Amino acid sequence: MERKVDAVILAAGSLGREQLFPKALIEINGKSILQRQIEWLRPYVKRIIVACTESEARQIKRYHPGIDVVFATTPELPGSAGSLRKAIELITTDEFIVVNVDDLTDIDIASLINFGTNTVCVANPVLHYGVIEVENQEVKNFREKPILKNLWANCGVYFLSKTIAEKLPEKGNLARDVLPYIALRAYKHFGSWQPVWKSRTVVK
C-alpha cells in the first residue's frame, strides 16, 4: 500500500487592476489551476491544505463551492515561507508535499515520496528563443530553443519534513530565505512543467 502524506498548495497572490482575484483561479481550458493541482495531488495525499489570505479563501470558496480542502489563511500576504509556517500547523503527517499553485507538472508523486524527504524537484528548462554561437564576430551555429541540460530549474514542488517548521519565518520567501540553508536533495524530473505566470511550457 502506498504511503500517503499531507500536501500544502501555496496559493496566495492575486491578479488584476480594478478588481483583484486570486491567481489560484486562473483558468486553463475551462479549469482553474487550483482545481488542476488538487486533482493531480488527490490520489496520493491524505489531506490538502490551501495556504492563502482570508479574502482569497472567500473568493476561492465562492468559485469552488464545497471544495474538499482545508484552508490555512492569513490576513495579509506573508510570503511563501510565512504561508507555509501557518499551514504547517494543520499538517497531520511527519512528512508533506508542498507545491506552488502556479507550477503545473506531471511529477510522479508516489515516486517522489519514495525518493525521500527534504527534496526539491528540478527540471531542465527550455529556452523559448533560438541561440546563436558566435566566435569573434562570425556566426558559427544556430540552435533553436535548446534544452539547457547543464542547468536545473526549481519546479516549485517539494517533499519536506515537518522539522522544517522551526526554520520558517513569519514573513519571507521559501526558496530564497529558507531552502538554501537546509540540506536538500534534487529529484530530477524529465516530464512536463508549466509555470503559469509565463504562460508557456518550459519542459517537454
Q: Is pLDDT at 198 greater than 70 in this prediction?
A: no
Q: Give the list of residues 6+ apart from residue 67 with CB closer than 8 angstroms, or none.
A: 38, 60, 61
Q: State the pLDDT at residue 150.
A: 75
Q: State the pLDDT at residue 197.
A: 64
What pLDDT, in 10s, does the model give residues 16-75? 666 778 999 999 999 999 999 999 999 999 999 999 999 999 999 999 999 999 999 999
**Are the CB atoms for 6 and 45 separated by under 8 Å?**
yes
Q: Is pLDDT at 135 greater than 60 in this prediction?
A: yes
One-letter amino acid of 115: F
**Domain 5-123+152-192, what architecture?**
Alpha-Beta Complex (3.90)
Query: Sign (positive/negative) of CA torsion 195, 196, 202, 204?
Result: positive
Q: Which of 117, 128, 130 is nearest to 200 (CA)?
A: 128
Task: Enumerate the domain spans of the chain.
Answer: 5-123+152-192
Q: State the pLDDT at residue 82.
A: 96
Q: State the pLDDT at residue 24.
A: 94
Q: State the pLDDT at residue 46.
A: 96
**Are the CB atoms for 143 and 131 separated by under 8 Å?**
yes
* pLDDT, the chain, mean: 89
Stretch among 9-13, 121-125, 148-152, 168-172 having the lowest mean pLDDT: 148-152
Q: In angstroms, rounded to a whole number, what is the distance separating the alpha carbons of residues 86 and 106?
A: 27
Over residues 170-175, mean pLDDT: 94
**Are the CB atoms for 99 and 157 separated by under 8 Å?**
yes
Q: Give the list of residues 6+ apart from residue 204 with CB closer than 8 angstroms, or none.
A: 126, 192
Q: Is pLDDT at 109 greater than 90 in this prediction?
A: yes
Gap between the terminal Cα atoms of the chain: 31
One-letter amino acid of 86: K
Q: How far is CA 47 from CA 11, 44, 79, 81, 121, in A?
A: 16, 9, 22, 20, 21
**Are the CB atoms for 6 and 47 separated by under 8 Å?**
yes
